[in-house]
Structure 1
């Protein structure tokens, strides 16, 4: 494959365009304004420093730091010089980090100052050459003694050159390193900018973390590629976000962000006068949240679907019907199909395994060629591990993860189908349906319910049972009901059913 600057994602994002130099790219929650020129200079300087430290094309740069503009610039610096950016969740323990660092084998590890001593010991064990620090304030050894930005071009790469290394959540075993290329990320960004109507006039309200696909790739790439700007928050604080909506045009968030906004009595259509689009992802959006949000604001949240291995694969339309409970249509240039366990393509409306093919799909699992081969079909489709349906009109609905499928008495039960019924019952805030071991049926269906506090548990259970009896076949109805204060979630808001199964196992 031919290498060229034009294949480099940094080049394609257009950050160094001369007409953008004085254009605002973001404003932090402390009020500091950064221009495209400022961000470009920081990325260039950081890239030059990494090269002076011995970083070469293809070297991994592992990063566990709090969200900051300097951290974003470090990611861009890696793209410029052809290094592979490896972001790490700030909540990871030392035990977890030991696995990630040993597996990724980075040339440089960047961490916060308060973890420097511990992670330096880990780095020595794992053979990492350099440990640098970067704090939420934008200070640390990474940014000290920076060389002056030189007006150099990004390195030439080919379309399959690795740009980033991210790890799966590891719910079914050791996390897998997912290699994303410059083409994976660039092609996805270009489609989304067009599909969601991004322009230089947009202001994105950015409260997401940037160690994840959603906040780092989807959000930032859409802004940078279109020449738009961001209100850049260190995290999500609902009252601050409510105030910032009046100065924004687009918001991306996990479902929790939208439910927290709805918890504020003052949140209404007047709060959203300058907004044109609310986008939700990383976890399923409850139909009740979708409906209440529309009732309160007049806006229908746009839900889309993606995963670390594919970036975004589907989206509800910008112009057209956004259907609650669905993730819309396949993106342009991306093919989807639903198969049974034997590889037979299923008819519209049937539940099966979702497969994806397109330029968005990752290159490989890091150092796991057998696993990579096993997760692709002979004709190049990636097996997502998600269960889905595609209706006659082409709308895709995610039913659940294949590992969450419950087989009771030899019959398949899809938790999402039951959760949708439970969640619409009076007195229910949300629910999760799991399968627990059963001597008779193999697995029994169990409903874990978070009440909203308006009913006694006995009355609530009776009402839910009655609704399920009217709505679902007997084998799908839960045998047990468990009431808890909240569902366990990961950093991106996904319910961790594995923890529920472990907690309530007999």
Structure 2
């Protein structure tokens, strides 16, 4: 494992070796690795010759899965900048915080979502805004057609205005007139500021270095082994590239091996998603539990060509047994669940394709140590639940400008406390019991929402479920389950009876609420926190009535 290379060293090697191979496809248009090399060089030239940005400055990138994303990110890195991955769904408050906290001096944003940034940009230190339209890297005729339909027919582009705005295509034209120079960065230099979701307070920027990201790329490649053959793979990319999981898989591991990623800009539009997959003989699929469920409910999905599909990777949220089994039955491909977090670049463990253990997140990837500890920081033996700790070259440098938060998370020996409760089995496989903060305590017994959700989701009349704990005078907390029905005939009584047959008494939900859908993050992860906050507000209102 060579950890002395920068991301641009890896990029340059891939361009030299696999230039003619397809790299990214979106909305029917494909860019080869050579195309990405040429176009990212133009963008780097624009940054170096037409802005005041210097190596080490931060540039925020607020783009969904479109072809501009890899061009902009690799261009920024080639210019020596630090990429601040920015969620396109951010509210004004969230975006303002991230731009100011990171000290971003530039922002690249899609026109469709630029109105949010336009309302806060003057309250930030951003000096330059580069605005792109969805099909800016397509051929002229197709570009005009797609961009016009988005703007004038579908009304997808709201009004916005920036005083410091340049259009992406104009920037690329300017950059094409002068050469750029790849800036040499060391392995310890920060490459990406990846902000956490802020579920435990204000969002923090995880400082991911070149070494962190290159190490995790190497770890993933080694762990997947023959699952990634150089220049032969076509992977479907519905998870957003600005999320570190998808970034590491598609922009690092797959790009570095000359492989092809098909970008899905809006995976929530399941019919359009399935239509994109028709006729494709894809070999890999990277997703998560709710997305797998959504696809399998679409009648056309089962008719796709799965003959070459050999890898389905799941991460971001717990994979339920029922979903995994149905996916395997429908596609013929086993789902390999892994585990990671923003602070670990992100992959910590993976299930080996040849020895998947459902219900676990596999074994640590190479050069990674794991242990579990109790509340006092003492190491615990195998098969005992405790907080999972991780040490390895993929562990972040720390939180941006937050020394105290860094010290609370990473100890003097380099162990990172994940905040996740886990069991390490004798065979080395890791089982995530739950997020520490999501754990429900019923009469002194620990109840893990993942287990409840796994059982409930296996009911043939349930599409998906989320479990939370709500206050109870008698037992401290009780379990409440939120359920989206697959069959309208399902009743609360039937579901609770089913839970009684499959769960210990104190784990059985005392309350059931049926909903049309559940709140989710932009990557489809169910937000238990929102459900819990709703319940607490209801309780508070009743107490004050």
Check whether TM > 0.5: yes
Aligned match of 1:93: 91
Q: Deviations over 1:302-330 (max 9, x none)?
A: 11111111110100003x22121111100
Residue aligned with 2:498, SS = helix
Question: Any residues of structure 2 matched to 1:437-452 within 5 Å, and which?
Answer: 437-452=471-486
State the alpha-carbon separation in 1 of the partners of residues 85 and 121 from structure 2. Answer: 16
1:157 equivalent in alignment to 2:155: no
Give matches, 1:23-422, under 5 Å.
Answer: 23-30=21-28, 32-52=29-49, 53-113=51-111, 116=114, 119-120=117-118, 122-138=120-136, 141-144=167-170, 145-148=173-176, 154-196=182-224, 197=226, 198=228, 199-236=230-267, 237-244=272-279, 246-265=280-299, 267-268=301-302, 271-310=305-344, 311-318=346-353, 320-422=354-456
- Structure 2 stretches lacking a partner, 5+ long: 138-165, 540-545
Measured in 1, the distance between the counterparts of 2:327 and 2:116 equals 45
Shift, 1:475, TM fit: 2.8
Shift of 1:254: 2.1
Return 92-101 or 201-210, whichever deviates more. 201-210
SS in 2 for 1:487: coil
CA contact (8 A) 1:213 1:308 kept: yes
1:296 and 1:121 mapped to 2: Cα distance?
A: 46
Name whichever of 386-395 and 254-263 sits farther off: 254-263
- Distance of aligned partners of 1:485 and 1:467 in 2 relative to their CA distance in 1, 3 Å threshold: farther
Q: CA deviation at 1:93?
A: 1.2
- Residue 114 of structure 1 and its aligned partner are, at CA, apart by 5.3
**Aligned equivalents of 1:63 and 1:346: distance in 2?**
42
Q: Indicate conservation of the 8 Å contact 2:42/2:180, yes or no.
A: no
Please report how far the alpha carbon of residue 221 of structure 1 lies from its aligned counterpart in structure 2 after TM superposition. 1.2
Label 1:20 to 1:321 Cα distance change in 2 as closer, same or farther (>3 A). closer
- Decide whether aligned partners of structure 1 residues 266 and 344 sit closer, same or farther in structure 2, where only a CA change above 3 A counts: same
Counterpart Cα distance in 2 of 1:74 and 1:26 = 13
| Paired residues of 2:91 and 2:116 also in contact (CA < 8 A) | no
The one-character-per-residue Cα deviations of 1:157-215 (angstroms, maximum 9, x if unpaired) are: 22210001111111121111111111111111122123223221111222322221122
The CA deviation at 1:443 is 2.1
Change (3 A) 1:446 1:231: closer
Question: More displaced, 414-423 or 401-410?
Answer: 414-423
Instruction: Give the TM-score normalised by structure 1.
Output: 0.92
- After superposition, the Cα gap between the structure-2 partners of 1:257 and 1:429, relative to the gap in structure 1 and judged at 3 Å, is closer
Q: How many residues align?
A: 497
* Aligned residues of 1:206 and 1:215 also touching (Cα < 8 A): yes
- Note closer, same or farther for the CA distance 1:126–1:241 as it changes in structure 2 (3 Å cut): same
Q: For the residues of structure 2 that align with 1:118 and 1:17, how far apart are their CA atoms? A: 36
Contact kept, 8 Å, 1:238 with 1:260, in 2: the verdict is no
The alignment yields a C-alpha RMSD, in angstroms, of: 2.4
CA distance in 2, matches of 1:35, 1:115: 27
The Cα of 1:149 is off from its aligned counterpart by 7.2
How far the C-alpha of 1:217 sits from its partner, in A, is: 2.3
- Are the aligned partners of 2:391 and 2:416 in contact in 1 as well (CA < 8 Å)? yes
The answer to whether 1:482 aligns with 2:513 is: yes
1:431-480 CA-to-partner distances (Å, cap 9, x unmatched) read 22211122333322222222321534144234234324xx31x3333332
What secondary structure, in the 3-state scheme, does the structure 2 residue paired with 1:443 have? Answer: strand
What is the CA distance between 1:118 and its match in structure 2? 5.6
SS in structure 2 of the partner of residue 271 of structure 1: coil
Normalised TM-score (structure 2):
0.85
Task: Give SS of 1:417's match.
Answer: helix
Deviations 1:90-122 (A, max 9, x none): 111112111111111111122233555663452
| Aligned 8 A contact 2:111 2:134 in 1 | no
**Contact 1:61–1:85 (Cα < 8 Å) also in 2:** yes
Question: In structure 2, what is the Cα distance between the partners aligned to 1:371 and 1:15?
Answer: 37
C-alpha deviation, 1:151, in angstroms: 6.6
The alignment partner of 1:344 has SS state of coil
Tell me if the contact between 2:92 and 2:119 (Cα under 8 Å) persists in the aligned partners.
Answer: no
Secondary structure of the residue aligned to 1:7 is coil
Alpha-carbon distance in structure 1 between the residues aligned to 2:213 and 2:252 = 8
**Structure 1 pair 417–114 and aligned structure 2 pair: CA distance change class (3 A):** closer
Which residue of structure 1 aligns with residue 8 of structure 2? 10
Query: Matched residues in 2 for 1:166 and 1:66: separation?
Result: 15
Out of 483-492 and 157-166, give the one that drifted further: 483-492
Q: 1:113 to 1:33 in 2, by over 3 A?
A: closer
